[in-house]
Structure 1
């Protein structure tokens, strides 16, 4: 429903200031035609300190988080409500409120009943895990032991899962009411190149049991062995009706239902381009891709003449490879913008197999496509490269 922005923000204010029921609130994006807010996004929750309950506000800029605790929640919240955020998402113990500011300056508001874990009030953020250490998925995958403690040798994998789920949460909140899953039409997620499906199962567990979102997940991998192994894990977890696996390549897999969310994590070289192109073909609302290696553009740079005054960037192999990483992902982000996606390239923890720690997070939200085309063309021509994703999207 659409209502005056003032009314919608009053609804948000009431939900956030109820310290007994608030689970979490998030502000993100910017309003059409207005300056950017002071922060990329802001998260709010209540914490219990020795001095009493406080509103904890975590503000994110391009590189880090800044956390403060406030004994006057109303004053802290009113300052944030005055910022030109384009989206507000509020989870309480009983409902989810989503507010998106429209082009006209009104608010599109969605309210859904919800049920989930009780609000977490511990001040120590390490206790506020998105997936608890004793989660059945983590035990079944061998990350946690029988007592529900993460094994010392699997700490890196657990951290990867936590950071992935955190980025998925940010993307889901940013999408707002562009995604409206129901019991009859669950959220459709595909994980391209899922391997052993650690993140596939983690995504399903968090979406269904923490966020309470009806979800159907399909993992895709070229290995039949992976399909059999992952299908057995799904059976033991009791989620085989909601988490399935198929054998296929990224560029030729056929899905029964068009996916809303496409995941492609640590796909090597141009496999990431294949995944991004499939996401565009499917008109997916959310895309999360963590590229692995970037050989394609690096090979092209080896034979290219760098534009003045930048030849030194290509002179040494190690610098050329690192520059190729940056150039490749910048062009991928730009190409997604030419197809109407709002794109953030953020830091993502690397797996034990690769030091790559970049995540491309895209939301189908409308962008200045002409500007994006001009930027992609200018960058490609300046460095004499033709990214694989451009070829795939032009087919």
Structure 2
């Protein structure tokens, strides 16, 4: 163990720009490999940790001075190999089956790795230095288009949301889009999205924001007029029962409370919407119903029940969309330290096999039976003979 600590001390004595932990000691270890990449923003430097399973990658950010502690934990218990790069040195750490530690190092110019990692964080779709009026009015940008230091996290969050939409948009050569934004609220993100579609992607967009508050709708229409956003309008209406007769290409719903998200998803499915982006909020429905004899541990403690029920709600929603032919993902787009409402449901119409659709629906049936719960979205779809 002393040899390992000494080797890690030697590695971290230099500024590591990238690090890869691999070769897990047994099959039970969850992550196949773990990366640590040095990042920087306007305030400080930090490491972004990327943990890879067979199907997913999980992220967390740590302070620079936490790197030694983290990699010591990884190498002591779970992994046998570590590769690391500083500007001038490449390190290769290996642990034999008998626990012997071997540290190799060689001098090499790795400055390009450092520059690549640092710049990656800054390569945002909504670029600093650009005059984007909604971001100025939101207080994220100064009048000169610079990021306000205290709003850097908000700037990253908005870009992250735009990136998740951009991932779908760039799969097809979109020329025209009709977009409905349910529960748009004060709508600054709606305005930012309109800017992204029209000014950056050069797409002919027709965009409608929907909300229940007349004063909000009036103000948003005034702002759209002031921005000269000609094809963006706001209407007064309820997600439940909203009627729209034309084709809808995309439905967006951000923080629609509790079952309002279900009504938004239901409408999106009825319209045969191509793309759905939903950030749920206040998932109370399952929490008030959950009961289980076999899995009572999940309902025994209030805080556990609350979190499990929220995750279960979104998992059921994702599976129901999959059963209807949507390729569906649940993605984290805000660090949970900033907001617990950090899951995005991203769904796109796709060629889903019959077996996969049936299995998705079966998984929903199993969970609602086990926990004696009723899903609003499931009921809406069944009542309308959509499933």
| TM-score tier (shorter) | 0.5 to 0.7
Which aligned segments of 4 or more residues in structure 1 are displaced greater than 6 angstroms? 350-353
2:233 to 227, 235, 244: 244
Tell me how far apart the structure 1 counterparts of residues 118 and 325 of structure 2 sit (CA, whole Å): 39
Contact kept in structure 2, 1:140 and 1:237, CA below 8 Å: no
1:270 to 241, 259, 264: 259
2:189 to 192, 199, 203: 199
| Aligned pairs for 1:113-124 within 5 A | 124=119
Tell me how far apart the structure 2 counterparts of residues 255 and 141 of structure 1 sit (CA, whole Å): 30
252 and 321 in structure 1: CA distance in 2 versus 1, 3 angstrom threshold:
same
TM-score normalised by L of structure 1: 0.64
Structure 2 match to 1:295: 284
Give the superposition deviation at 1:353.
9.1
Please state if 1:373 is matched with 2:361: yes
Please state if 1:146 is matched with 2:134: no
2:56 to 50, 57, 62: 62
CA deviations on 1:279-326 (whole Å, 9 max, x unpaired) are 10111000011111110000001xx2x142x21111010000011011
Contact kept in structure 2, 1:208 and 1:215, CA below 8 Å: yes
Tell me how far apart the structure 1 counterparts of residues 215 and 196 of structure 2 sit (CA, whole Å): 26
Q: What are structure 2's unaligned runs of at least 5 residues?
A: 1-51, 60-115
Tell me how far apart the structure 2 counterparts of residues 341 and 146 of structure 1 sit (CA, whole Å): 41
Contact kept in structure 2, 1:130 and 1:162, CA below 8 Å: yes
Tell me how far apart the structure 1 counterparts of residues 380 and 135 of structure 2 sit (CA, whole Å): 37
351 and 162 in structure 1: CA distance in 2 versus 1, 3 angstrom threshold:
farther
TM-score normalised by L of structure 2: 0.65
Tell me how far apart the structure 2 counterparts of residues 148 and 335 of structure 1 sit (CA, whole Å): 42
Give the superposition deviation at 1:350.
6.5
| Aligned pairs for 1:331-370 within 5 A | 331-349=316-334, 354-367=339-352, 368-370=356-358
1:322 to 304, 307, 314: 307
Contact kept in structure 2, 1:350 and 1:356, CA below 8 Å: no
Tell me how far apart the structure 2 counterparts of residues 377 and 336 of structure 1 sit (CA, whole Å): 14
123 and 143 in structure 1: CA distance in 2 versus 1, 3 angstrom threshold:
closer
| Aligned pairs for 1:1-395 within 5 A | 62-64=56-58, 124-133=119-128, 134=130, 135-173=132-170, 176-177=171-172, 181-182=174-175, 186-239=176-229, 241-255=230-244, 257-301=246-290, 304=291, 306-308=292-294, 310-349=295-334, 354-367=339-352, 368-395=356-383
Structure 1 match to 2:27: none
286 and 62 in structure 1: CA distance in 2 versus 1, 3 angstrom threshold:
same
Give the superposition deviation at 1:151.
2.6
CA deviations on 1:94-119 (whole Å, 9 max, x unpaired) are xxxxxxxxxxxxxxxxxxxxxxxxxx
Contact kept in structure 2, 1:160 and 1:351, CA below 8 Å: no
Contact kept in structure 2, 1:156 and 1:352, CA below 8 Å: no
Give the superposition deviation at 1:181.
4.2
Contact kept in structure 2, 1:140 and 1:233, CA below 8 Å: no
Aligned length: 273
Tell me how far apart the structure 1 counterparts of residues 296 and 145 of structure 2 sit (CA, whole Å): 54
Contact kept in structure 2, 1:122 and 1:128, CA below 8 Å: no
With CA pairs under 8 Å and 6+ residues apart, which has the higher RCO, 1 or 2? 1
Q: What RMSD, in angstroms, separates the aligned Cα atoms of the two structures? A: 2.7
Structure 2 match to 1:49: none
Q: What are structure 1's unaligned runs of at least 5 residues?
A: 1-58, 66-120
